[in-house]
Amino acid sequence: MAVEALELTDATVVDLATTTLRELNQGLHDPGGQRRWRIVNPNGAHAVACGLDAEISVEIEGHVGYYCAGMNKLATVRVHGNAGTGVAENMESGTVVVEGSASQSAGATGRGGLLVVHGDAAARCGISMKGIDVVVRGSVGHMSAFMAQRGCLVVCGDAGDALGDSIYEAHLYVRGAVGSLGADCIEKELRDHHAAEVRALLERAGVEDVDPTEFKRYGSARQLYNFKIDNAGAY
Amino acid sequence: MLEEKRAQPQDGWNLRESYLYDRHVIAEIQRAAREGIYDIRGFGAKRRLPHFDDLLFLGASVSRYPLEGYRERCDTDVVLGTRSAKKPLELKIPITIAGMSFGALSAPAKEALGRGATEVGTATTTGDGGMTEEERRHSETLVYQVLPSRYGMNPDDLRRADAIEIVVGQGAKPGGGGMLLGYKISDRVAEMRDLPQGIDQRSACRHPDWTGPDDLEIKIHELREVTDWEKPIFVKIGATRTYYDVQLCVKAGADVIVLDGMQGGTAATQDVFIEHVGIPTLPAVRLAVDALQELGMHRKVQLIVSGGIRTGADVAKALALGADAVSIGTAALIAMGDNSPEHDEDYRRLGSAAGFYDDWQAGRDPAGISTQDPELAARFDPIVGGRRIANYLRVLTLEAQTLARACGKSHLHNLEPEDLVALTIEAAAMARVPLAGTDWIPGRNGR
Which residue does chain B place closest to A112, by CA atoms?
B154
User: What mean pLDDT do residues A37-52 have?
Assistant: 98
Q: Are B263 and B53 in contact (CB under 8 A)?
A: no
- CA–CA distance, B212 with B222 (Å, rounded to integer): 15
* Position A5 pLDDT exceeds 70: no
Report if residue A206 sits inside a domain: yes
Element holding A174 (H helix, E strand): strand A171-174
pLDDT on residue B5: 62
B20 near A CB under 8 A: no
* Position A136 pLDDT exceeds 90: yes
Q: What is the pLDDT of residues B312-324, one digit of tens each?
A: 999 999 999 999 9
Task: Please report residues of A whose CB lies closer than 8 A to that of B199.
Answer: 168, 225-226
Domain that holds residue A45: 12-234
CATH number of the domain within which A214 lies: 2.160.20.60
pLDDT on residue B8: 63
- CA–CA distance, B433 with B239 (Å, rounded to integer): 20
- CA–CA distance, B2 with B22 (Å, rounded to integer): 36
User: What mean pLDDT do residues A190-194 have?
Assistant: 97
Report if residue A3 sits inside a domain: no
A197 near B CB under 8 A: no
- CA–CA distance, B420 with B427 (Å, rounded to integer): 11
- CA–CA distance, B4 with B276 (Å, rounded to integer): 48
Task: Please report residues of A whose CB lies closer than 8 A to that of B204.
Answer: 128, 146-147
pLDDT beneath 70: ranges in chain B: 1-10
Nearest by CB to residue B226, choosing from A51, A85, A147, is A51
Share the mean pLDDT of chain B: 95
Q: What is the pLDDT of residues B59-102, one digit of tens each?
A: 999 999 999 988 899 999 999 999 999 999 999 999 999 999 99
User: What mean pLDDT do residues A91-95 have?
Assistant: 98
> What angle in degrees, to the nearest 10, is found between the helix axes of B382-406 and B107-119?
40
**Residue B436 CA to its chain's centroid (Å):** 28
Q: Are B404 and B68 in contact (CB under 8 A)?
A: no
A67 near B CB under 8 A: yes
Q: Helix, strand, or coil here: B401?
A: helix
Task: Please report residues of A whose CB lies closer than 8 A to that of B33.
Answer: none
Report CB contact under 8 Å: B209, A108. yes
Task: Please report residues of B whose CB lies closer than 8 A to that of A50.
Answer: 222, 225-226
Report if residue A208 sits inside a domain: yes
Q: Which phi and psi angles does A83 have, rounded to 5°? A: -125, 145
Nearest by CB to residue A46, choosing from B36, B221, B227, is B221
Nearest by CB to residue B195, choosing from A127, A168, A227, is A168
Report if residue A133 sits inside a domain: yes
Task: Please report residues of B whose CB lies closer than 8 A to that of A109.
Answer: 150, 153, 208-209
CB atoms within 10 A of CB B425: 15
Closest CA relative to residue A39, chosen from A78, A66, A4, A76: A78
Element holding B384 (H helix, E strand): helix B382-406
Nearest by CB to residue A227, choosing from B37, B150, B221, is B37
Task: Please report residues of A whose CB lies closer than 8 A to that of B193.
Answer: 149
Q: Are A166 and B202 in contact (CB under 8 A)?
A: yes
Rounded to 5 degrees, what angle do the CA atoms A85, A34, B86 make? 60
Report CB contact under 8 Å: A53, B155. yes
Q: How far is B181 from chain A (nearest CA, A)?
A: 8
DSSP B142: E
- CA–CA distance, A141 with A131 (Å, rounded to integer): 20
Question: Which ranges in B254-381 belong to alpha helices (H)?
Answer: 271-276, 281-294, 312-320, 330-335, 344-349, 374-377
Report if residue A67 sits inside a domain: yes
Q: Which residues pair with B266 in a beta bridge?
A: B43
Report CB contact under 8 Å: A65, B218. yes
pLDDT on residue B67: 95
Q: Which phi and psi angles does B189 have, rounded to 5°? A: -65, -45
Q: How far is A86 from chain B (nearest CA, A)?
A: 6
Nearest by CB to residue A150, choosing from B153, B194, B221, is B194
B226 near A CB under 8 A: yes
B32 near A CB under 8 A: no
- CA–CA distance, B325 with B327 (Å, rounded to integer): 7
How many domains does one find in chain A?
1
Task: Please report residues of B whose CB lies closer than 8 A to that of A90.
Answer: 150, 153-155
CB atoms within 10 A of CB A99: 17
Report the Cα–Cα distance between both ends of chain A, in Å, rounded. 41
CATH tag, B42-446: 3.20.20.70
Given pLDDT bands bounded at 50, 70 and 90, which one contains residue A93?
very high
Q: How far is A219 from chain B (nearest CA, A)?
A: 14
ipTM: 0.94
Report CB contact under 8 Å: B208, A70. no
pLDDT on residue B433: 98
Report if residue A148 sits inside a domain: yes
Q: How far is B128 from chain A (nearest CA, A)?
A: 14
Radius of gyration of chain A (CA): 18
- CA–CA distance, B99 with B166 (Å, rounded to integer): 11
Q: A158-195 in b/e burial notation, b at 16+ Cβ within 10 A? A: bbbebbbbbbbebbbbbbeebeebbbbbeeeebeeebb
Task: Please report residues of A whose CB lies closer than 8 A to that of B37.
Answer: 227, 229
Closest CA relative to residue B253, chosen from B284, B229, B275: B229
pLDDT on residue B239: 98
Report CB contact under 8 Å: B196, A29. no
A50 near B CB under 8 A: yes
Given pLDDT bands bounded at 50, 70 and 90, which one contains residue A4?
very low
B200 near A CB under 8 A: yes
Task: Please report residues of A whose CB lies closer than 8 A to that of B198.
Answer: 226
Q: How many contacts, defined by CB atoms under 8 Å, are there between A and B?
A: 101
Report if residue A132 sits inside a domain: yes
pLDDT on residue B70: 81
Which residue does chain A place closest to B201, by CA atoms?
A225
Element holding B79 (H helix, E strand): strand B78-80
Q: How far is A68 from chain B (nearest CA, A)?
A: 9
Q: B302-316 in b/e burial notation, b at 16+ Cβ within 10 A? A: bbbbbbbbbbbbbbb
pLDDT on residue B7: 57
> What angle in degrees, to the nearest 10, is found between the helix axes of B281-294 and B242-252?
50
* Position A7 pLDDT exceeds 60: no
| DSSP secondary structure string for all residues of A81-105 | S-B-TTTTTT--SSEEEESS-B-TT
Q: Is A147 left (phi over 0), alpha (psi -120 to 50) or beta?
A: left
Q: What share of chain A is helix, strand, coil (3-state, %, to 5)?
A: 15, 25, 60
Q: Which phi and psi angles does A232 have, rounded to 5°? A: -55, -35
Q: How far is A71 from chain B (nearest CA, A)?
A: 6
A147 near B CB under 8 A: yes
Q: How far is B209 from chain A (nearest CA, A)?
A: 6
Q: How far is A81 from chain B (nearest CA, A)?
A: 20
Q: Helix, strand, or coil here: B73?
A: coil
Q: Which long-range contacts (CB under 8 A, 24 or more apart) does B330-333 make?
A: B330/B43, B330/B44, B330/B264, B330/B265, B331/B392, B332/B97, B332/B98, B332/B100, B332/B113, B332/B116, B332/B389, B332/B392, B333/B100, B333/B105, B333/B109, B333/B265, B333/B369, B333/B370
CB atoms within 10 A of CB B63: 6
